[in-house]
Amino acid sequence: MSLPDAPPIVAILRGVKPDEIVEIAGALVDAGIGYIEIPLNSPEPLVSIGKLCEAFGDKALCGAGTVLTPQAVDDVAAVGGKLIVTPNIDADVISRAVELGLTVMPGFSTPTEAFVAVKAGAKALKLYPAGSFGPGHLKAVRDVLPKDIEIYAVGGVGAANLKPWLDIGVAGIGVGGELYRPGYTAAEVGERARALVAAWTAQTAG
């Protein structure tokens, strides 16, 4: 799911409001972030996702997180969302996203869950919460998965601890609170995003 001009970092904007999403997302895009997720347990999430897609759908892969049902997949697609992220493995959710041609990134923790997701059509997975399991766990799971499956580390991964995850071959990361929490200004989000992108670039240079 890699974009050519953006590091594989998914910005998770949990709690973002419709009246601030365009400004917040603009700061992320300007900093070099190309993947933006609005969890569905945020205030009026579909309104925010619609605004996000309208403003930046041609510059970033935009969509929803905490997607729990096939109906929610349909709702996100109806407002222009192209990215479906889940905290769990639900084959019906994955299959519906694949059927609609959306990029789906389901959350897994075990090899069993990972293979259920792959069988349902997922091409990218997220280890969640990654910080609870650690790079060693992911390395062991990667050894048995198809080589073309991308794995993102999400939850407890950020600028300060990128290296061990990159060393075991993660395709990318998802970052929430390090980038955005309710109350952060667009300027603060932009500054945090630039620091994260710089850390990623420094760790992956060469």
Residue 5 has a pLDDT of 75
Instruction: Taking residues 75-96, report their average pLDDT.
Output: 98
Categorize the per-residue pLDDT at 147 as very low, low, confident or very high, splitting at 50, 70 and 90. Answer: very high
> How far apart (Å, rounded) are the C-alpha atoms in residues 158 and 180?
12
> How far apart (Å, rounded) are the C-alpha atoms in residues 156 and 73?
26
Residue type present at position 30: D
Structural domain boundaries of the chain? 9-204
Residue 3 has a pLDDT of 64
> How far apart (Å, rounded) are the C-alpha atoms in residues 3 and 167?
21
Residue 1 has a pLDDT of 67
Instruction: Taking residues 196-202, report their average pLDDT.
Output: 96
How many CB atoms are closer than 10 A to CB 112?
10
- As separate numbers, helices (DSSP H) first and strands (DSSP E) second, the chain gives 9, 9
The DSSP string of 159-201 is GGGHHHHHHTT-SEEEESTTT--TT--HHHHHHHHHHHHHHHH
> How far apart (Å, rounded) are the C-alpha atoms in residues 27 and 80?
20
> How far apart (Å, rounded) are the C-alpha atoms in residues 65 and 85?
4
CATH code: domain 9-204 is 3.20.20.70
> What positions carry a catalytic annotation?
37, 126
